[in-house]
Structure 1
Amino acid sequence: MSFFNNKVVVVTGGSDGIGKALVDALLQQGAKVATCARNLDKLYELGKTHAGKALFTSATDVSNENECKLFLEDVVKTYGTVDILINNAGISMRALFTDTSLDTMHKVMDINFWGTVYCTKYALPYILKQKGTVAAVSSIAGFRGLPGRTGYSASKFAMNGFMEALRTELLETGVNVMWVCPGFTASNIRNAALTKDGTPQGASPLDEGSLMTAEECATHILHAIEKRKRTLIFSSGDKRTVLFNKFIPALTDKFVRKFFFKNGELIK
């Protein structure tokens, strides 16, 4: 029997990409799943795909505290509790800081960081009773600042710090707090990434077909949750980046600059 069988699992941002892959996998393993997203059409299609299964969906903007509160209240009304929260909802950006509007920076922080804080705040009382798990989908950008992603890196650094502090606070409660860093994964996040004026860039600068699939990513995340890991950094390259940044940060600056720039222009 699956570890997730009959567990109530909340996945934010479950209508697309990694979030959708998590919802699909969890339902296959017998979980009772609740998910939220802003796109009603995608939520409707998700519901149709899993008709008859234990899936609760809600049109929710995680950057809005009250909407997060109402979403979690509805989840508890539907399923009675929360065993696991996966803070997956997020948005990226791609623009140099000198060109980026502060509204764009605020939007990225509101969704990525505050969305995690809001949902965790309202799910935690139930997770404490269940001795369950709070997880967050972070990024290597939360360990190493990435050019063209100042707001995104700031939000993920904040997320990692929040999760680490919370983990330490809850260390003797039976609750596991963890964060995972998938690296580049095939999804819509780069198409939806915000440009300098806050509009979606609409196209990915990467070869999406060569990246890890969302389904493979979801498998790794669920395995880490089952094993109650602390952190999970997926690729060997990302692990090297974290290690290099810790011990040779000045040289790592040059490596990262070379990866993201060509002839003085941001290319990734």
Structure 2
Amino acid sequence: MSGHNTIITGAASGLGWAMTQVLLSRGDSVLMIDRDQSLLEQRQRESNDPKLHIGVADLSTSDGIDAAIALIHATFTRVDILINNAGITHRSLAANTRPEVFRQVMAVDWQAPVELATALLPKLRASRGSIVNIGSMAGWMPVLGRAAYCSAKSALGQFFEVLRAEERDQGVHVLMVYPAFVNTNIEQNALGGDGGRARHARSTVGGVSEAAPLAKQIIRALEGRKPRLFPHRGIYLASLLWRLLPDLFHVAMRRKFAVELRQH
């Protein structure tokens, strides 16, 4: 599994940077795509690895998605792994959220992964490569104040479950990762309903895990060509509660995320 050409979106910090370091250590060539040019350049200097490439693109816009695709084709003639890691969330009640926030969350969390994956399918078929998508427990279970994020992550999972079945005979591997709360910038940069930064602290279920151990778990699952990874047992149990006793789940969620209901 070493020596592959890998693309990671949202790679300049958090889980993306942690996965980049693991992949570089095993000999991969990695193209990091992120909207933060200064942080990308900083990471490149820190790494000082000739196999690390960087590219700037804002995946919340159609032009940015097209730019990312062009960057990939310009960097690698062969693509072995695409890791759709870039993500954005919000903390705002649906009734208080502007439509442009819904559109931005859906663009980054669903539209960009879909367009990148479908654009790269010819190269991934040729290499019998892998697509890794960072989903979320929110794609399975409703979470107060995250209507758009839950919707986007649910759509992400459904799309790539279908794509896995459609591309199986072409040799393309799809790994869906369903983490819980991870200590990354996604929550620190969460949008409020007006499109600015969310002004109240997030609520969580269970503990908040660190990016580095999760990155290693993901790469192990990638190497084993696993279809799904549920890295946090507590969240898997919560998903069972949602499916078996949804009304009880709603009671528990409203209590745990009560701070969201006070944001009227």
Instruction: Give the 5 Å matches for 1:170-189.
Output: 170-189=167-186
Q: State the match for 2:19 in structure 1.
A: 22
Deviation track 1:192-251 (CA, whole Å, cap 9, x = no partner) reads 0001101122675369xx621111111111111111111112212110121122221122
Is residue 60 from structure 1 mapped to residue 65 from structure 2 by the alignment?
Answer: no
Question: Which amino acid is the alignment partner of residue 211 of structure 1?
Answer: V
Q: Which residue, 189, 194, 197 being the options, matches 1:200?
A: 197
CA shift, 1:67, in A, is 3.4
Deviation track 1:130-176 (CA, whole Å, cap 9, x = no partner) reads 11111100100001121100010011011011111101111222111
Task: Report how many residues are paired.
Answer: 261
Higher relative contact order (CA 8 A, sep 6+): 2
Question: Which amino acid is the alignment partner of residue 248 of structure 2?
Answer: L
Q: State the match for 2:105 in structure 1.
A: 108
Q: Return the alpha-carbon distance in structure 2 between the equivalents of residues 126 and 185 of structure 1.
A: 31
TM-score when scaled to structure 1? 0.91
* CA RMSD in angstroms, aligned pairs only: 1.9
Q: Return the alpha-carbon distance in structure 2 between the equivalents of residues 70 and 263 of structure 1.
A: 36
Instruction: Give the 5 Å matches for 1:228-243.
Output: 228-243=225-240
Q: State the match for 2:28 in structure 1.
A: 31
Worse overlay, 84-93 or 98-107: 98-107
Question: Which amino acid is the alignment partner of residue 240 of structure 2?
Answer: L
Q: State the match for 1:261 in structure 2.
A: 258
CA contact 1:13–1:88 (8 Å) conserved in 2:
yes
Question: Which amino acid is the alignment partner of residue 180 of structure 2?
Answer: G
CA spacing shift, 1:137–1:264, aligned 2, 3 Å: closer
Deviation track 1:44-67 (CA, whole Å, cap 9, x = no partner) reads 101111223311111101233443
CA contact 1:9–1:34 (8 Å) conserved in 2:
yes
TM-score when scaled to structure 2? 0.93
Q: Which runs of 5+ in 1 are unaligned?
A: none
Kindly, what percent of the aligned residue pairs are identical? 28
